[in-house]
Chain A
Amino acid sequence: MTALYIVLPLALLVAAAAVGAFVWAVRSGQLDDVETPPRRILFDED
């Protein structure tokens, strides 16, 4: 079970990184407008 002592903190670090990425995405405004982007993908780049 000693592997746990390495893997568990590692898993928590990965989770912390994911939370960090989420916080960054929210703070940089990527989730402010969730209505326009799904429409924008319909445009062709021409």
Chain B
Amino acid sequence: MTTALALACQHCNLPIPRGRAGDYCCDGCEIVRNAITEHGLDRFYALRDETAPAHTTSATYAELDDPAFQRVHVDATATGDHHAALYLEDLRCTACVWLVEATPRCIPGVREVRVDFGRARADVWWDPQATSLAQIAHHLDRVGHVVHPYRGADRDLHRRREDRALLVKVGVAGAAMGNLMLLAIALYAGLFGGMAAADTAFFRWASMLVAVPALGFAATPMFRTALGALRAGRLHLDLPLSIGIVAGLGWGSANVVRGVGEIYFDSLAMLVFLLLVARFVVLRHQRRASSAAELLLALTPSRARRIGADGAIAEVPIEAIAVNDRLSVRAGETIPIDGIVAAGTSAIDAGLLTGESRPVDVGPGDRVHAGTVNVSGPLEVVATGVGEQTRVGALVAKIAALATRRAPIERLVDRIAARFVLVVTVTSAVVFVAWSTVSIALGAEHAMALLVVTCPCALALATPLAVTVALGRAARRGILIKGADALERLATAGTLYIDKTGTLTEGRLAIATWLGDVDARALAAAVEAGSAHPIARAFAIEGSPVATEIREEPGRGITGVVHGRHVHVGAPSWIRERCTPRPELDAWITEVARRGETPIAIAIDRTVVAVVGLADPVRSDARTALTSLARLGWRIEILSGDDPRVVAAVGAQLGLDPARCHGGVSPEQKLAWVEAARARGPVTMVGDGVNDAAAIAAATCGIAVSGAAEVAIEAADVYLKSPSINAIAATAHGAVATLATIRRSLRISLAYNLTAGTLAAVGLIHPLLAAVLMPASSLTVLASSLRSRAFRDRSST
């Protein structure tokens, strides 16, 4: 219980690990706290409402002052100041915004820093004579926000323009609706109470002058999609909407000029306004979910440490690296290029690139890839491929191509719209001909009334409303869904491919089997405590004794002295060379290998005492989640880049048919599997690594799970913030429930259209009746959407 009583870190309030002197849990927290205090920014601690360990690097950010970088990312203002946009990590709360915006007080020459919290973006203006971007970035890093150049600025600008244009139309339609309703109330009152003909005409003219320009402008997005779809030879829901709007505006204006007949401007304005609001809300939801994708560009580091001909190390922007350059990569850094190790030994975590759960040990002459992490020791690497030529670069390019090629699914509502257009136009033609036997004017009157009152407002609202409710509820449960289609794509069960590493398993090594002397565990932990190797971390236990004389042979093993006893921990072959084996050793190793685990031998005083099997543990909730998905009709298969034996072992633990567990699958093969399965029906791909990203992009629906590589998040339709794979099952259940809601809403609105259409056809529709029926049907659809069971807590899984 000593840890509970341990002192709290002065920065993040986490307990300080035993054996660490001072007031902080880690170096990061100490550096950040000191930087904050030094600048007199202590108010940070009063403002914040979330605490987390600080993250800082020792980078100098010299590459931000490189002319090659400045040309692209820095612009000058009229006053001679410079401006750049930066992407900041760990922007969590108000206090972080305050801390970053207080930069001008800390560095003379910084004019202003403005944070955009939602986009994790900071715009910086500074005087180039007094300071430099590198200094500013270094300061932000010191106070706990690691800086990356903001490379999505163009895309942001484009999106912003789209958002603004739509918002203006929402405002115009809303104002038109409000004023038209006031005018309409006067007209309806006149209908019952009597009104002078001149006054009625005045109100009708005023309505027309408001309605025609305002709605003609606000409804342009619908006209545009309708025309676009027509040109492409497809039918889209916007077509019947546009027909209704144009017919309503045209016929209403004709009636105003003629001085007789009905006008429908108020109902039309409400229709246009509701449709635009629905579209705007859906757009906002989608923007929020996809802004996580902007992180993609931070995947590969923006700088590298180049070793010059004279041996001096210079930090240069990644764009400046050429093939055959020599780079220094420190432990813990992501390797920026494809290359060959020239000097040094280390372990490489290629998990995100290949799905391999075990670290790969590398030494001189070995090949390393961009996007993998150098875990334990410094390396010197000679570049063989940079940027697009790297393996990760090629994958990213392929993903971009796949994402644009993805065929839009034929949405349920568009299928209905196609039939709807046909039925409505044929019926109005029939109505026109039938009533023309009485009089041509009456024929036109009733045919137009039919076109206007059957304008499928509720039909068009059904999908966005149900989807918005689902997206909002899902987001609160940590499920980010990028688009409305994703829900429709997920609603039909098909094949579900799941990556293993980091999805079904936790993505880290842990001790799975211990054969031999269990008491050796504390001694082994003491020796391994000094190493950063992922295998060493699996051994870590709290309160292990302190080891001395630690010597590590990278990729082989580690030795040390604990309580006067000599401890060896390492690969069985390495232990065999140094220590006395024992008869059970071979049997133990075979046993561990059979389970698909990595064998590690432990010797004490040069006698082997135990063999340990290391494996990536299966997530505790994986089995129930898979059962729940299977009940929905999904065919579940594992598709992993890891060793087939490991995959088989995980599959067995989850109760999956061994024939459905595929190991040793390369990223390119994953893509091929998914494309082959698509021929048979819907395919959902769940994964987290760069190796899954192409398959995620090619699948009918792609899901990225917590901790995924940014490129996988970019490619996916759904991103799960929680590491629980239960969320996958929840998403699938939610999608089914959402589609059920959409269907119910569509039935309601079609019933309304049938009623109103019949009344119009027989000439019984009254504009007041239309004005009541139209909002009534929209409100019913709204109520139906809010009652949806989709993503209700506890409703699924």
State the A residues within 8 Å of B (CB): 1, 4-5, 8-9, 11-12, 15, 18-19, 22-23, 26-27, 29, 31-33, 35-36, 39-40, 42-44, 46
Given A5-B202, A15-B175, does the pair A43, B98 have CB atoms closer than 8 Å?
A: yes
Minimal Cβ-Cβ distance residue in B for A46: B43
Additional 10 contacts, C-beta under 8 A, given A29-B160, A36-B117, A42-B94: A4-B199, A11-B179, A12-B210, A15-B178, A18-B175, A22-B175, A23-B168, A26-B164, A33-B117, A35-B116
0/1 interface trace, chain B 59-102, chain A, CB 8 Å (1 if under) = 00000000000000000000000000000000001100110010
Given A1-B199, A19-B172, A19-B175, does the pair A36, B164 have CB atoms closer than 8 Å?
A: no
Q: Does B47 contact A (CB under 8 A)?
A: yes
Minimal Cβ-Cβ distance residue in B for A1: B199
Minimal Cβ-Cβ distance residue in B for A22: B171
Name 24 interchain pairs, CB-CB below 8 A, sorted by A: A1-B196, A1-B199, A4-B199, A8-B206, A12-B206, A19-B175, A22-B171, A23-B171, A26-B168, A27-B168, A29-B160, A32-B164, A33-B116, A33-B119, A35-B116, A35-B117, A35-B118, A36-B115, A36-B117, A39-B93, A40-B97, A40-B101, A42-B94, A46-B43
Cβ-defined contact, A27 with B164, below 8 A: yes
Closest beta carbon of chain B to A21's beta carbon, Å: 10
Q: Does B167 contact A (CB under 8 A)?
A: yes
The 6 closest A-B pairs by CB, nearest first: A39-B94, A36-B117, A35-B118, A22-B171, A35-B117, A19-B175
Closest beta carbon of chain B to A37's beta carbon, Å: 9
Given A19-B175, A26-B171, A36-B117, does the pair A42, B47 have CB atoms closer than 8 Å?
A: yes
**List of A residues within 8 angstroms of B171 by Cβ:** 19, 22-23, 26
In the bound complex, what is the Cα–Cα distance between A14 and B603 (angstroms)?
Answer: 88
Q: Does B542 contact A (CB under 8 A)?
A: no
**List of A residues within 8 angstroms of B179 by Cβ:** 11-12, 15
In the bound complex, what is the Cα–Cα distance between A34 and B171 (angstroms)?
Answer: 17
**Chain B interface size, under 10 / 10 to 19 / 20 to 34 / 35 or more:** 20 to 34
Given A8-B206, A23-B168, A27-B168, does the pair A36, B175 have CB atoms closer than 8 Å?
A: no
0/1 interface trace, chain B 169-186, chain A, CB 8 Å (1 if under) = 001100100110000000
Closest beta carbon of chain A to B94's beta carbon, Å: 4
In the bound complex, what is the Cα–Cα distance between A44 and B101 (angstroms)?
Answer: 12
Task: Scan residues 20-45 of chain B and give those whose CB is less than 8 A from a CB of chain A.
Answer: 43
Given A15-B179, A33-B118, does the pair A39, B164 have CB atoms closer than 8 Å?
A: no
Closest beta carbon of chain A to B210's beta carbon, Å: 7
Q: Which of B97, B117, B163, B210 has a CB less than 8 Å from the CB of A32?
A: B163
Cβ-defined contact, A39 with B97, below 8 A: yes
In the bound complex, what is the Cα–Cα distance between A23 and B160 (angstroms)?
Answer: 14
Closest beta carbon of chain A to B498's beta carbon, Å: 34
**List of B residues within 8 angstroms of A43 by Cβ:** 47, 98, 101
Q: Which of A1, A9, A19, A36 has a CB less than 8 Å from the CB of B97?
A: A36
In the bound complex, what is the Cα–Cα distance between A9 and B207 (angstroms)?
Answer: 11
Closest beta carbon of chain A to B161's beta carbon, Å: 10
Cβ-defined contact, A26 with B167, below 8 A: yes
